[in-house]
């Protein structure tokens, strides 16, 4: 899906300036709370010692976002964050996190129907700075996992930057990429993978339910990774870097 010229024009001519005024007013009215959120951000950065732990000893935060659209750079917002904090040695009682977030612009009826959220729930949701700070506390010292992380992580990064948070650079694993490595000849969509592994499907496009189902998939992926000689986060990181180098070498040059 591509961004149209008129979407970009509308955002920079109208919505961007409206949001800047909204953000400044919010910060002014909630300065102490906003400062506390920034302090939370600074204290919740990832500890490097996790890199060399076996994957089944790392605590992961498997998360999912629901959003008003696909393009945070032109004003789409997060409206829900769901997450499961898991350690693969103890999957019986995972911690969970769920926040509904009030967006700058009201979501469309299609988005509400897809996510199952009501207009009142969204209207009464938390501000993004509050919800993001709570998510940072919840995910402190963990590795993030999302399906696909290539969408969810940049979306969070862009929205955090828009609200004035410092650079957000979490360590993460993309379970979609993991599925591409493990099952290259099969469809890697969440629905198809859930069917393959006979994992019960809960309400799709509910952030917490999607995070829960992704966590169950991820547990199975880690077992398979060991068969490929991947035991630690560093092993996975190196494998992905090597894979991307191979893909780049294979990519044809365009004149």
Residue 117 dihedral angles phi and psi, to the nearest 5°: -80, 150
Q: What is the pLDDT of residue 206?
A: 95
- DSSP category for residue 52: G
**In the CATH scheme, what is the code of domain 5-248?**
3.30.420.10
- φ and ψ at residue 93, rounded to 5 degrees: -130, 65
User: How far apart (Å, rounded) are the C-alpha atoms in residues 2 and 200?
Assistant: 33
Residue 5 pLDDT: 46
Neighbours of 104 (CB within 10 A): 18
The DSSP bridge pattern shows strands 143-146 and 90-100 to be unpaired
Contact between 214 and 64 (Cβ < 8 Å): yes
Q: Residue ranges per domain, the chain? A: 5-248
Q: Which of 180, 224, 247 is nearest to 88 (CA)?
A: 224
With CA atoms as reference, report the closest residue to 216 among 79, 60, 52: 60
Per-residue pLDDT of the chain (255 residues; tens, 9 = 90+): 555 544 544 554 456 556 666 666 666 566 666 677 666 666 655 566 677 889 989 999 999 999 999 999 888 999 999 999 999 887 666 899 999 999 988 999 999 999 999 999 999 999 998 899 899 989 988 899 999 999 999 999 999 888 888 788 888 999 999 999 999 999 999 999 999 999 999 888 999 999 999 999 999 999 999 999 999 999 998 988 887 765 444 443 333
Residue 186 gets which letter from DSSP?
S
Model-wide pTM > 0.75: yes
pLDDT, position 162:
87
pLDDT the model gives residue 207: 97
Long-range (24+ apart) CB contacts under 8 A made by 71-74 are: 71/3, 71/7, 72/154, 72/155, 72/158, 72/159, 72/162, 73/3, 73/158, 74/3, 74/7, 74/8, 74/10, 74/11, 74/15
pLDDT at 34: 65
Tokens 């008003």 locate to 68
User: Starting at the edge strand that comes first in sequence, how are the strands of the sheet with 90-100 ordered?
Assistant: 90-100, 78-87, 59-67, 143-146, 172-174
In Å, what is the CA distance from 105 to each residue of 4, 28, 74, 151, 229? Answer: 19, 20, 12, 20, 47
Query: What distance in Å separates the CA atoms of residue 224 and residue 99, rounded to the nearest whole number?
Result: 32
pLDDT for the residue 227: 92
């Amino acid at each position: 899906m591509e961004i149209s010229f008129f979407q970009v024009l509308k955002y920079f001519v109208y919505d961007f300036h409206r949001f800047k005024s909204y953000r400044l007013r919010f910060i002014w009215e909630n300065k102490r709370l906003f400062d506390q959120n920034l302090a939370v951000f600074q204290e919740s950065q990832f500890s490097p010692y996790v890199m060399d732990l076996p994957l089944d000893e790392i605590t992961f935060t498997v998360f999912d976002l629901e959003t008003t659209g696909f393009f945070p750079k032109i004003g789409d917002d997060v409206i829900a964050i769901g997450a499961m904090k898991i350690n693969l040695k103890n999957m019986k009682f995972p911690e969970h996190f769920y926040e509904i977030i009030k967006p700058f612009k009201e979501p469309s009826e299609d988005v509400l129907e897809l996510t199952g959220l009501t207009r009142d729930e969204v209207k009464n949701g938390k501000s993004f700075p509050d919800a993001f700070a709570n998510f940072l506390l919840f995910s402190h010292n963990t590795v993030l996992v999302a399906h696909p992380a290539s969408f969810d992580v940049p979306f969070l990064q862009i929205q955090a930057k828009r609200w004035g948070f410092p650079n957000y650079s979490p360590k993460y694993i993309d379970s979609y990429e993991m599925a591409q490595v493990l099952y290259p000849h099969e469809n890697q969509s969440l629905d198809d993978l859930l069917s393959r592994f006979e994992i019960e499907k809960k309400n799709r496009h509910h952030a917490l339910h999607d995070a829960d189902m992704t966590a169950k998939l991820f547990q199975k992926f880690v077992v398979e990774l060991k068969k490929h000689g991947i035991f630690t986060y560093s092993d996975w990181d190196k494998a992905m870097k090597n894979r991307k180098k191979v893909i780049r070498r294979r990519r044809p040059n365009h004149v």
